[in-house]
Each structure stands twice: as C-alpha cells, then as structure tokens.
C-alpha cells in the first residue's frame, strides 16, 4: 500500500514539474517580431525581392495584412476564419488584379454550339442527397494554381470537364488549362475570359489535350493545338438558369463552372476555412468550380467550391460558402453564371 502511494506521489510531482517547465519555456521564448515572421514567410514561399526598398514596402503590407487577419479572427462572431497564406505581402487591389480574370456579361447566352437546353433532374427535393462531395467519388483532380495569370475561367472550365469525364467514363484525367489560354480566341488569355467561350473552343477544336501533353505555364503563348491529338471531347454544354434550385440540380449531376463576385477586400484573399458569409464584390469577377454542397456543424448550409489559388489558400484550396440565404442571386452572386460541359 505504501509503495502505491509513493508511486502516485512521484507521478503527481512529475506532472507538476513538467507543466511548470512547459510554462516556463513558453514564457522564455520571445514572441517573434513582424519582421522575423516576414523572413520566415519569405523562406517558406521562396519570396525574393529586387531590392531593400521593395522588401520594406512588402514588409509594411505584410504587417497590415496580419493586423487585419488577427483583428477579424478575434472578433469571434464569424463562421469562418482568416489566415496567412502565400498572398500575405500584396494588397487586395494587387491580388484581385493578378489572380482573378473573369470577363463576362451578367449571364451567358448559349451559342449555336450549345444546342441543348438545361433540364431539371427528375429527383424531387426529398430524393436529393442532403450533402454531396464529388471528391469522394474521384471526380475532382488536385487543386491547381493559376499564378499571376488572369485565367480563372480556364481552370473553372477544366475543373468541370475533368469531373464530367470521370463520371461518364470512370477515368480520372487532368486536362490542359494552357491550351485554353493559348488557343481560345474569343477569350483574352491571361487578360480574362468566360467558361462558355472555353467550351465553344473545345467543341470547335474537336476536344482538349491532357495537362501532361500541354502543361500550364502561367502566361499566354502561341497555340499548339494542331500539334496534338485531343484527349477528351464534349458534345455540347448547358447554361444553368440563375437559381439555387437549378444549380443544386446541376451539381448533383457533375461539377459545375460558376462565376463568383469575389470580394475585393482582404476577407476573401485570406479565407482559411469555415463557411464564408463575408463581403462580396459588386459584380462577378472570378470563376471557380462547384463540386458539392452540405451542412456544417452549426447547421449552416454551404456550397463546396474548388479554387485555383493553390493549396495555401482556403481549406487546402477549397472553400465553403453560405447557401440558402434567400438572396435570389446567392451569396456573392454564385447562381448567376453557371454552366457545365456534356461528354
């Protein structure tokens, strides 16, 4: 009995000492300065500046962005959080000038090539899945990064087509955004474009090449389509009516290209997870791929989106955005500009 008491006493003493040492170590480690955090961030993301003047400028922007991120997260009334990512040394104006690129009217008009009209599924509301994630069905390729080329439209279109091909054939394949950037004459390469123009090109071209045959270069070059044999063809595409019901029906079939009024504030730039219900831009300016929907732990319905800003942004490159808000256009106008290709 005495031996057991001694062992218990020793264990308690060990835990007390360990806790004290841990707290003492934490107190002894000084908090990193913003300059030190910036140096670590530069090393992590391979950032190099042309001179000390540029570095000082970027440090100030980095400091202001951290201040904004921390103040928003401390507010404590958001269902989403912000975080430092690879875009932490640029302003929101610079970010949205470089990393978006959707040039479009309020809603696309189907071209003569898009001969099929949108058809609502036969599923009733009760028969619709309560949640859906096309990643779980293998219909979503890895998150990509468009870099400083305003061709989100190409990544959105390719994301939808990769999903459609997997669902139709059972084969996962990565397709070429670069071919769309170089060759879609009715779009402007890194200067912006639309997904429906991309789908028109794929039909006219007799298909689209694989990513391995025509890899992404983050800038526009001379078109090489005639040198390659297309890997995937589409017969037509459908423009989705601007409503939540129509988009929901479309996403149950396959991933869908959508436009979004991505806020030109730091909220969107530094989104790091959760269900986004923050600010939006005045008009649609970015394109992503809707790959599902669901309900979060707080009971809030959301859309699941695949972006093209790399994996340091959002939830490893993905975003949840609030659904079922009562807004006819959806939060950030995500119901207004949707389309998908048909294999």
- Annotated catalytic sites, by residue? 152, 286, 307
Residue 287 forms beta bridges with which residues? 259
Cα–Cα distance measured from residue 186 to residue 118, given in angstroms and rounded to the nearest whole number: 23
DSSP states of 211-246: TTTS---SS-----GGGS--SB--SEEEEEPSSHHH
Cα–Cα distance measured from residue 8 to residue 15, given in angstroms and rounded to the nearest whole number: 11
Phi, psi of 201 (to 5 degrees): -60, -45
**Sign of the CA dihedral 304, 306, 307, 312?**
positive
330 class by beta-carbon count within 10 Å (0-12 exposed, 13-18 middle, 19+ buried) = buried
The CA distances from residue 13 to 1, 5, 22, 94, 104, in Å, are: 19, 12, 14, 56, 68
Cα radius of gyration (the chain)? 24
Reported as type and span, the H/E element at residue 178 is: helix 177-183
């Amino acid at each position: 009995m005495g031996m057991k008491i001694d062992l218990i006493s020793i264990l308690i003493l060990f835990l007390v000492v360990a806790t004290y040492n841990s707290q003492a170590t934490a107190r002894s480690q000084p908090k990193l300065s913003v300059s030190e955090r910036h140096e670590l961030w530069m090393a992590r993301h391979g950032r190099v500046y042309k001179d000390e003047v540029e570095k000082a400028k970027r440090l100030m922007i980095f400091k202001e962005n951290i201040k904004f991120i921390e103040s928003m997260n401390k507010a404590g009334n958001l269902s989403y959080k912000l975080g430092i990512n690879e875009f932490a040394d640029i302003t929101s104006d610079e970010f949205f000038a470089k990393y978006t690129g959707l040039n479009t009217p309020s809603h696309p008009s189907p071209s003569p090539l898009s001969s099929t009209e949108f058809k609502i599924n036969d599923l009733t509301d009760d028969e619709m899945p309560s949640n859906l994630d096309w990643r779980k069905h293998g219909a979503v390729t890895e998150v990509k990064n468009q870099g400083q080329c305003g061709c989100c439209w190409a990544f959105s279109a390719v994301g939808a087509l990769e999903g459609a091909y997997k669902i139709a054939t059972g084969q996962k394949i990565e397709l070429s955004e670069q071919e769309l950037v170089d060759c879609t004459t009715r779009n402007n390469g890194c200067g912006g474009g639309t997904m429906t123009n991309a789908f028109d090109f794929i039909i006219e071209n007799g298909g689209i090449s694989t990513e391995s045959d025509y890899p992404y270069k983050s800038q526009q070059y001379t078109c090489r389509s005639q040198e390659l044999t297309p890997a995937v063809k589409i017969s037509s595409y459908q423009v989705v009516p601007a409503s939540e019901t129509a988009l929901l029906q479309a996403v149950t079939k396959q991933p869908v290209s959508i436009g979004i009024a991505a806020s030109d504030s730091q909220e969107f730039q530094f989104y790091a997870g959760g269900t986004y219900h923050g600010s939006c831009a005045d008009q649609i300016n970015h394109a992503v791929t809707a790959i599902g929907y669901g309900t979060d732990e707080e009971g809030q319905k959301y859309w699941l989106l695949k972006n093209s800003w790399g994996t340091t942004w959002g939830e490893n490159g993905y975003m949840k955005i609030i659904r079922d808000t009562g807004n006819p256009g959806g939060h950030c106008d995500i119901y207004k500009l949707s389309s998908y290709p048909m294999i």
